[in-house]
């Protein structure tokens, strides 16, 4: 049953803590199975991937058919309706323009000692992008993963998308083409993560893997981290809406359901300072659930994990929001832009009643791959920097080494690292002899 909380109730703190720590992840113990799959892929390469794809996706492949051919991609793209193609092209343009502004600058300067210092940014060489397939096929996720990688300058980009029974969403292939990715493998699950992490006879290993997936994909990404980089371990989707009474309950209800329809384990929460408005939204949710296409999924999510929280004022709402650290936060209050600055922890903030979270999933520009399960307290959504690394630079002149070298020698001695100190002393001694 959907949870109704009021911050003035005596048991509120305990009930709120229980809400924060609801277990929404799958209870299935998949880690052992994933460990076996990864070991098999690492040992047998293509053979393991092909067998596992036949087992789980009912698709028979060979090394030559692991990837879509350019002709297959062209043919699939031709079937995309014009309106959908135009919408995806607009989304790609907006996402690229937003992420191009994230590109970092190199730096190089001389400090007061005469030392030259700085950093240089460079892209990872190869990245593998995982895209869910089947019923959970999201071309928008292709754009959100591939475009930041492209903007970063990654040389080699590949996509793995499961194609159960050989069925693929043509929009996924169009999105790959729009993002500049030509290599799309028709494989999924933990075996796809293993193939990208370890490499096979056909699939080259990558340096970083990004993209959402089911429990098996998440467990595989967790296990290969360190062999490759990963973006995050994403959990079920979530939305928090902070709204005052001057909002349309039907709008807010649909915003809550926009996440509930993703997954039975998704979570939708409303915080309001008006109890009557909170009830009106809850009623509107129930009405909408009667006609929503994915009503069974959305109803289970709202029933098991949904909540309406009534607070004494909006300052309290902001404090509760930071404790939740939601993946998506809608701020639907007066002077929403100013109010949004009270929030420290959120994956993405949607400011004002005219900014539904659904805009962010598709066409807004910012990335929709966001931290879940309160991890927005310490992490950010996917961005260009996830596909880059910063190399620090330092160059000592003789004068700079004379100025700061003795302190380095002293610290090396204090740590009993003799060779460290001697590496500096040898150069200082030469300087003292007058040979620069």
328 has catalytic annotation: yes
330 has catalytic annotation: no
Taking alpha carbons only, the member of 78, 88, 81, 73 closest to residue 186 is 73
Instruction: Show the tokens assigned to 329.
Output: 């936060």
Alpha helices in 132-214 (DSSP H): 139-152, 170-178, 189-198
**Cβ-proximal residues to 55 (8 Å cutoff; 6+ apart), any chain:** none
DSSP state of 204: P
Q: Give me the residue label for tokens 């210092």.
A: 117
Task: Determine which one of 328, 330, 357, 368 is catalytic.
Answer: 328
**HSE-CB of 78 using CA atoms within 13 angstroms:** 6
Ranges of residues in the chain whose predicted pLDDT is under 50: none
Total count of residues recorded for the chain: 436
Instruction: Show the tokens assigned to 280.
Output: 């009106």
Class of domain 3-24+235-364: alpha beta
CATH fold match for the domains 3-24+235-364 and 31-105+124-233: yes
Burial of 83 (0-12, 13-18, 19+ CB in 10 A): exposed
Distance of CA 261 to the CA centre of its chain: 19
DSSP state of 228: B
- Element containing residue 93 per DSSP (H, E): helix 82-100
Residues 191, 52: Cα–Cα separation, whole Å: 7
pLDDT of residue 136: 59
Residues 110, 269: Cα–Cα separation, whole Å: 51
Residues 436, 425: Cα–Cα separation, whole Å: 14
Instruction: Show the tokens assigned to 54.
Output: 């036949």
Q: What angle do CA 187, 188, 193 make, to 5 degrees?
A: 105
pLDDT of residue 138: 87
Per-domain residue ranges for the chain?
3-24+235-364, 31-105+124-233, 396-432
Alpha helices in 1-122 (DSSP H): 12-20, 31-44, 46-57, 70-78, 82-100
Output the pTM of the full model. 0.93
Task: Determine which one of 261, 327, 330, 357 is catalytic.
Answer: 327
pLDDT of residue 135: 52
Q: What is the β-pairing status of strands 238-243 and 328-332?
A: parallel
CATH 3.90.550.10 fits 31-105+124-233, yes or no: no
Distance of CA 401 to the CA centre of its chain: 43
């Amino acid at each position: 049953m959907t949870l109704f909380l009021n911050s003035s109730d005596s048991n509120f703190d305990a009930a709120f803590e229980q809400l924060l720590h609801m277990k929404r992840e799958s209870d299935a113990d998949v880690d052992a199975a994933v460990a076996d799959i990864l070991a098999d892929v690492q040992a047998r390469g293509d053979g393991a991937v092909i067998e596992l794809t036949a087992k789980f996706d009912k698709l028979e492949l060979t090394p030559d058919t692991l990837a879509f051919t350019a002709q297959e991609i062209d043919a699939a793209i031709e079937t995309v309706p014009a309106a959908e193609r135009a919408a995806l092209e607009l989304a790609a343009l907006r996402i690229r323009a937003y992420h191009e502004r994230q590109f970092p600058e190199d730096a190089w300067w001389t400090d007061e000692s005469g030392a030259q210092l700085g950093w240089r940014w460079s892209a990872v060489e190869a990245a593998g992008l995982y895209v869910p397939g089947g019923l959970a096929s999201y071309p928008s996720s292709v754009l959100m993963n591939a475009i930041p990688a492209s903007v970063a300058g990654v040389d080699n980009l590949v996509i793995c998308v499961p194609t159960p029974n050989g069925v693929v969403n043509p929009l996924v292939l169009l999105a790959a083409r729009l993002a500049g990715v030509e290599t799309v493998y028709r494989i999924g699950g933990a075996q796809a993560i293993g193939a990208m992490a370890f490499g096979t006879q056909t699939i080259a290993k990558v340096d970083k893997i990004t993209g959402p997936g089911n429990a098996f994909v998440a467990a595989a990404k967790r296990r290969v981290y360190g062999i490759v980089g990963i973006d995050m371990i994403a959990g079920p989707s979530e939305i928090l809406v902070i709204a005052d009474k001057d909002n349309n309950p039907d709008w807010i209800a649909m915003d809550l359901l926009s996440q509930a329809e993703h997954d039975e384990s998704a979570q939708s929460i409303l915080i309001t300072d008006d109890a009557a408005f909170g009830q009106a939204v809850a009623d509107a949710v129930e009405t909408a659930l009667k006609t929503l296409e994915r009503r069974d999924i959305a109803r289970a999510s709202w029933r098991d994990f949904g909540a309406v929280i009534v607070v004494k004022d909006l300052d309290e709402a902001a404090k509760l929001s930071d404790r939740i650290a939601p993946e998506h936060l809608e701020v639907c209050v007066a002077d929403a832009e100013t109010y949004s600055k009270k929030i420290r922890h959120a994956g993405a903030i949607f400011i004002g009643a005219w900014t539904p979270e659904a805009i962010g999933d598709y066409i807004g520009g910012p990335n929709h791959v966001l931290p879940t399960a309160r991890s927005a307290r310490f992490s950010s959504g996917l961005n260009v920097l996830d596909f880059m690394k910063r190399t620090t630079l330092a160059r000592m002149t003789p004068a700079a080494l004379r100025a700061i070298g003795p302190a380095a020698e002293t610290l090396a001695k204090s740590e009993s690292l003799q060779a460290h100190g001697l590496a500096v002393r040898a150069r200082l001694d030469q300087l003292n002899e007058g040979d620069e």
